[in-house]
């Protein structure tokens, strides 16, 4: 059987199985299982372990449910230079994953591939088990319903109210008016903007606009939230408040992937993971606090201080 076989939505039946295999697969061979099936399951388990070892990301939860999987992904925008070069990584359900690296490292490109704003040149990408390389154009809106995106420049409708901006996501999914009103107010309470629902977005501060952008991203209950430099233009205090919002969203079970230059931010989320990119290549990955501590030690030692 082809392990990358897909259904019409591009969902891979076999690649999703090994990383989130039912307990029976892991705890030995069920009694009546055909030996060929048992061998196949063993092979899938080995494959899953190898993928996690390659990506360098160890999961703390025993029931891994992969949300985002990249295998040897390359992205070139036309020229010889790769914006991403052989990137392999996994983010599981409930992970808080930072993507960091200097300007031009490929952080935004990585996020764009995940929500299908760009297509990988080579490699495999799966989002919630959907194989993006095989996803038909008609399947893209279905995929995007699973993902909330917070853009660096907010991309809000400045001449519309806070309520309208957040409600728009729900309107396009055809939700009834009463549901939209209840849901938008609930989300605005979460982000602390319930008193400003009738304000025009263009009259809000940068931090408030970022809150609206976050509210809009989570309004339709996505399973993944992607955020590109969400604190890029904010002062320290507001940055911490925005980070706390992402942590709250993550505590509710949503996988959060946050691209940032701000290394201080990365140490502030216990249990978070990090991927460091440089010139399109993954140079380190793992538990954020450990990876960042190792990088700092390396940098100090290379400056001759140690
Ligand atoms: N649309 C595009 N066309 C051509 N090249 C692009 C395009 N978008 C990005 N690139 C190139 O791809 C590389 C990675 O860019 P990307 O925006 O992903 O980096 P980044 O890590 O997000 O940088 P920054 O921190 O400045 O936002 C860069 O060399 C960039 O010039
Ligand atoms: Mg960027």
77: Cβ below 6 Å to ligand 1? Answer: yes
Residue 22 confidence (pLDDT): 33
d(CA 296, CA 66): 29
- Of 59, 106, 65, the C-alpha closest to 86 is 106
Is the distance from the beta carbon of residue 127 to the nearest atom of ligand 1 less than 6 Å?
A: no
pLDDT for 38:
66
Separation between Cα atoms, residue 60 and residue 67, nearest integer Å = 15
Q: What is the pLDDT of residue 39?
A: 63
- Indicate whether 25 pLDDT > 70: no
Residue pair 62/292 in contact by the 8 Å Cβ criterion: no
Each residue's pLDDT tens digit, 208-259: 999 999 999 999 999 999 999 999 878 899 899 999 999 999 999 999 999 9
Distance separating alpha carbons of residues 108 and 116, to the nearest angstrom: 12
**pLDDT exceeding 70 applies to what percent of the chain?**
77
Mean predicted lDDT score pLDDT of the chain: 84
The alpha carbon of residue 222 and the mean position of all alpha carbons in its chain are separated, in whole angstroms, by 11
Q: How far is the CA of 237 from the centre of ligand 2 (A)?
A: 22
Nearest to 26 by CA among 4, 49, 7: 49
Cβ atoms < 10 Å from Cβ of 130? 21
Note the ligand closest to the C-alpha atom of 107: 1
Dist. CA 272 → ligand 2 center (Å): 20
108 lines ligand 1 (CB under 6 A): yes
Instruction: Report whether pLDDT(161) > 60.
Output: yes
Measured in angstroms, how far is the CA atom of residue 83 from the centroid of ligand 1? Answer: 6
Residue 200: count of CB within 10 angstroms of its CB: 16
pLDDT tens per residue across span 85-96? 999 999 999 999
What digits encode the pLDDT tens for the residues 261-303?
A: 998 899 999 999 999 999 999 999 999 999 998 887 777 666 6
pLDDT at 64: 81
**Of 252, 250, 285, whose CA–CA distance to 269 is shortest?**
250
Q: What is the pLDDT of residue 57?
A: 47
What is the strand order of the sheet 82-92 is part of? 82-92, 66-76, 122-127, 130-131
What is the Å distance from ligand 2's center to 108 Cα?
4
Cα–Cα distance measured from residue 233 to residue 210, given in angstroms and rounded to the nearest whole number: 10
Q: What is the structure's pLDDT at 172? A: 87
Query: 72-88: per-residue pLDDT in tens?
Result: 999 999 888 899 999 99
Residue 102's Cβ-count burial label (10 Å; 0-12, 13-18, 19+) is exposed
Dist. CA 29 → ligand 2 center (Å) = 46
- What is the structure's pLDDT at 173? 85
pLDDT digits (tens, 9 = 90+) for 115-128: 999 999 999 999 99
pTM here is: 0.80
pLDDT at residue number 13: 40
- Write the CB contacts of 287 (distance below 8 Å, at least 6 apart in sequence): 58, 271, 272, 273, 274
Residue 6 has pLDDT above 60, yes or no: no
Using a CB cutoff of 5 Å, list residues around ligand 2, an ion.
107-108
CA distance 147 to 280: 23
Three-state DSSP state, 56: coil
Strands (E), the chain: 66-76, 82-92, 96-100, 122-127, 130-131, 147-150, 224-228, 255-260, 273-278, 281-287
Region 126-148: mean pLDDT is: 95
What percentage of residues in the chain have a pLDDT greater than 90? 66
Mean pLDDT of 46-61: 47
Distance of alpha carbon 275 from alpha carbon 138, whole angstroms: 31
Provide the β-strand partners of residue 90: 69
Question: From atom 1 of ligand 1, which residue's Cα is the shortest distance away?
Answer: 77
Strand order in the sheet with 224-228: 147-150, 224-228, 255-260, 96-100, 273-278, 281-287
Band (pLDDT 50/70/90 cuts) for residue 181 is very high
Is residue 41 within 8 Å of 87, Cβ to Cβ? no
């Amino acid at each position: 059987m082809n392990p990358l076989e897909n259904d019409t939505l591009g969902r891979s039946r076999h690649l999703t199985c090994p990383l989130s295999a039912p307990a029976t697969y892991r705890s030995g061979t069920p009694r009546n299982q055909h030996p060929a099936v048992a061998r196949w399951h063993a092979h899938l388990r080995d494959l899953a372990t190898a993928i996690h070892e390659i990506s360098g990301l160890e999961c703390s939860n025993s029931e891994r449910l992969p949300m985002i999987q990249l295998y040897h992904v390359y992205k070139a925008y036309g020229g010889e230079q790769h914006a991403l070069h052989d990137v392999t990584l996994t983010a599981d359900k409930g992970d808080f994953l930072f993507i960091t690296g200097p300007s031009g490292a490929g952080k935004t490109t990585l996020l764009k591939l995940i929500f299908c704003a760009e297509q990988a040149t080579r490699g495999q990408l799966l989002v919630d088990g959907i194989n993006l390389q095989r996803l038909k154009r008609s399947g893209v809106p279905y995929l995007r319903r699973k993902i909330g995106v917070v853009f660096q420049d907010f991309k809000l409708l400045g001449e519309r109210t806070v309520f309208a901006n957040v409600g728009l996501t729900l309107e396009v999914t055809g939700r009834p008016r009463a549901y939209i009103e209840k849901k938008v107010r609930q989300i605005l309470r979460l982000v602390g903007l319930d008193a400003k629902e009738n304000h025009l977005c263009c009259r809000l501060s940068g931090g408030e606009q970022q809150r609206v952008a976050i509210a809009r991203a989570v309004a339709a209950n996505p399973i993944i939230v992607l955020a590109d430099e969400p604190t890029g233009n904010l002062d320290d205090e507001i940055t911490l408040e925005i980070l706390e919002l992402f942590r709250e969203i993550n505590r509710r079970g949503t996988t959060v992937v946050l691209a940032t230059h701000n290394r201080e931010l990365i140490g502030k989320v216990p249990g978070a993971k990090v991927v460091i990119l440089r010139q399109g290549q993954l140079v380190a990955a793992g538990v954020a606090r450990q990876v960042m501590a190792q990088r700092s030690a390396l940098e100090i030692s290379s400056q001759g201080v140690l």
